[in-house]
Amino acid sequence: MKKQTYFYISFTLFTLGGVINAQNPGFTIFQNGPSMHTARIMHYQTLLPGNRIAAFGGHIPGFVRSNTAEIWDGGSNTWTQYTMNDYRDGNGIAKLSDGKIFLMGGCSSDYGVGQLNSTEVFNPSNNSFTAGGPMTSVRTMCRATTLNNGKVLIVGNWYSNANFGNICDSSATTCLATDSVKEQRAAAILLPTNDGKALVIGGYQPYNGSIPVTRVELYDNVNNTFSTLQTDLISGDPGWMLSTGYALAGGSGLSEDCRLANGKYILMAYKSNNSVNEYTLVSFDPATKIFAKINTTPSIPNYDPANGDSTGYSLWPMVDKVNDKVYFWGIKGSAPPFYTNLFAVDMGTNTLAIPTSFIPFSFLIYTASSIVMNDGKIFVSGGSYNGDNFSALDSVMIITPSIFTTHVLTTTQADNNTLNIYPNPTDGIFNLKLNPSLTNGLKIQSIEVTNILGEKIYEDVNFQINSSSNFQIDLSKQPGGIYTIRLNSEEGSIVKKLVRR
């Protein structure tokens, strides 16, 4: 049997060669965190309530599949390891509507070989794993997303039998087969739409990671069928391709983690022309089902292998929905040291910040998992020294971007005194009041409140407030924690933090 091969189409970085607190002036701060109990590659990394992060499965040194998960506690800055019900390497992942994590499929043996039909559910409230309903087919390199009705769509397989998907109920106890897909693929990206459907994009032809799939398919949740929405990612602009869905949102694999506060999803696409790669960020609007290129200023520089100083990029952007920023990694060089740094885009202005210098790293980050935490820092764990599947790492880095740090997204008038929130901290009920000297003529169109996981717990699209009035919101039924208040206008957004005691 042919071994499963993990294809990394991008060039990226990872950790400091034993250096702590390395800093690129004016850009980012890298700090070593606590090592994991087990070195691992290709693991999913997920934000949990209570300032925690979970790392699920992957493979460990020697290309051995893992049946363990670890949870990092931000309060104690320590890891605790747990045993899962089955091995999860090359598996799929989705977040259920109740906040539990659904894991499915993966390799049935070491070295990336074989496939499983088992599933399990992780409960973050007690750190337990329980068996879910089996899929109707064994799968590895499958991908999943949760639909608006709470059901989970699963598509894809690396080896065989990728010609249909599975649809599982909201509790992950029963999985049924879908109708046939229009094109078989592995490691796709699945994005839910506002009308309850989902798109299947990207990935590779099964058993052949060198041939990307460009067809965009639409899953109809009512008829349980697939249809071709369009033959290319960007209509009228063929040739744009996506990386695998494994590292969606930097390594969480969850579609919601690549979604901005405005509801649009952010991906990164590439196009090759005579070995020169062109890159662009792409937005997907789940309301209209339209993909659109994001024209940054300046544009993302091309990668040209003939230029020894050219920069390659990771193809899974990390989204900071609180601060409306998107990050991705850049790297120079094909052998250690790998010169690396972080690129950033302010989504309010589409401004791209390009680092002026790169930091020498001793190993590669594109095999690691990176995720934006609720405080805006980037948490990076695991990976491989040289990009292969045998040399796993247990290291952790916590990265503090030092650009675009303001929480008030620009209207030309806005500053930190534009919006007053009181009392803050609050026991549940709080008031909003605009500063009349700074908001003359500013028309607020909507307001939304999100919790520490980025979940929207309050929204008013007919929000009315002016500089002479107050607006009151009641979060008494919400648990204590940090919440984000966002007021949206035509000129920009105003973002503030609220502490619920």
pLDDT band for position 26 (cuts 50, 70, 90): very low
Would you list the domain boundaries of the chain?
22-401, 419-500
- Which among 207, 199, 210 is positioned nearest to 267, based on CA atoms? 199
Average pLDDT over residues 318-336: 88
Q: Look at residue 433 in the predicted model and tell me its pLDDT.
A: 84
| Distance in angstroms (rounded) separating the CA atoms of residues 332 and 360 | 9
The yes-or-no verdict on residue 412 having pLDDT over 80 is no
pLDDT band for position 186 (cuts 50, 70, 90): very high
Average pLDDT over residues 435-458: 71
The yes-or-no verdict on residue 223 having pLDDT over 70 is yes
Give the 3-state DSSP-derived string for 96-147, with helices as H, strands as E and coil as C.
CCCCCEEEECCCCECCCECCECCEEEEECCCCEEEECCCCCCCECCCEEEEC
**Domain 22-401 maps to which CATH number in 1.10.1060.10, 2.120.10.80, 3.30.70.1230, 3.40.120.10?**
2.120.10.80
Q: Look at residue 415 in the predicted model and tell me its pLDDT.
A: 41
CA torsion 282-287-289-292 (nearest 10°) is -30
For 413, phi then psi, to 5°, come to -90, -20
The yes-or-no verdict on residue 7 having pLDDT over 50 is no
Q: Look at residue 208 in the predicted model and tell me its pLDDT.
A: 76
Contact 118/102 with Cβ under 8 angstroms? no
Average pLDDT over residues 429-441: 71
| Distance in angstroms (rounded) separating the CA atoms of residues 238 and 273 | 12
Into which CATH architecture does domain 419-500 fall? Sandwich (2.60)
123-154 burial: b if 16+ Cβ within 10 Å, else e: ebeeeebeebbbbbbbbbbbbbbbbeeebbbb
Average pLDDT over residues 42-56: 95
| Distance in angstroms (rounded) separating the CA atoms of residues 159 and 155 | 13
Average pLDDT over residues 210-214: 87
Strands 444-450 and 429-434: unpaired
The yes-or-no verdict on residue 19 having pLDDT over 50 is no
Question: Between residues 17 and 122, which one has the greater pLDDT?
Answer: 122
Copy the structure tokens of residue 117: 């039909």
Contact 365/314 with Cβ under 8 angstroms? yes
Copy the structure tokens of residue 95: 């977040």
The yes-or-no verdict on residue 219 having pLDDT over 50 is yes
Q: Look at residue 248 in the predicted model and tell me its pLDDT.
A: 61
Average pLDDT over residues 1-30: 39
Tell me the per-residue pLDDT of 345-404, one tens digit each, with 9 for 90 and over. 999 889 998 887 788 877 787 778 999 998 889 999 998 888 889 999 999 999 888 664
Q: Which of 72-86, 230-244, 430-444 has the lowest mean pLDDT?
A: 430-444
Q: Which of 90-94, 243-247, 280-284, 286-290 has the lowest mean pLDDT?
A: 243-247
- Tell how many helices (H) and how many strands (E) occur in the chain: 0, 42
CA distances, 249 to each of 71, 118, 321 (Å): 19, 25, 11
Q: Look at residue 119 in the predicted model and tell me its pLDDT.
A: 98
